[in-house]
Amino acid sequence: MVQVIPREIEKGRDWVKIILPWFSLLLAVIVIAGVFFLSVRTKAANERFADLEKQLKAEQTEETEQLEDDLMLYKKKVLNVVQLLEDRRLAFPFYSFLEGLVHPKVYFTGASLDMASGQASLKGMSQDFQSLGQQVDIFKKEDFIQEAQVKGVSLAEQGGIQFTIELTFFKPETKQ
């Protein structure tokens, strides 16, 4: 016999629809608990770190502070020496240049070089006035040297002539 009256069919319980909301709720609770747990552990670690820093500062004695001051002083001295050596390297080509211009009867006993202003002051000895004049002419004929002037001349105790020559390589630019 055919049934004409439709009957309602019972739907089977779908386990995914039951388990999924509860699983999501459980997962959210676990995540919230994990965040709370990690924040508590981070705070405790930061407090321990601060305590260790305080202990370290308390144990630092005057001797270690003095040692640190000494090390800083030596560091400054080393940096100054490095700077001097770098400046010396910049002046080295000048001495090579000067070596090629020295008269055979003239020798220099001192030199002062100021690369910023383009000037050099040379102290030296000469056997006679003629060789001194020839040395000044050699400097004046050099294209790189703009001006050469003898500033001080005197007779030396050992014989010969002491002098000071000032050389100008370039005129420093003046700001207007």
Instruction: Give me the percent of the chain exceeding a pLDDT of 70.
Output: 87
Give φ, ψ of 159 to 5 degrees.
100, 150
Confidence of residue 18 (pLDDT cuts 50, 70, 90): confident
Confidence of residue 51 (pLDDT cuts 50, 70, 90): very high
Q: What angle do CA 73, 75, 77 make, to 5 degrees?
A: 70
Nearest to 125 by CA among 151, 90, 99, 164: 164
CATH class as words, domain 100-168 = alpha beta
pLDDT tens for 125-165 read: 988 888 888 888 888 888 888 888 888 888 888 888 889 99
CA–CA dist 170, 176 (Å, integer): 18
Q: What predicted TM-score, i.e. pTM, was given to this entire model?
A: 0.46
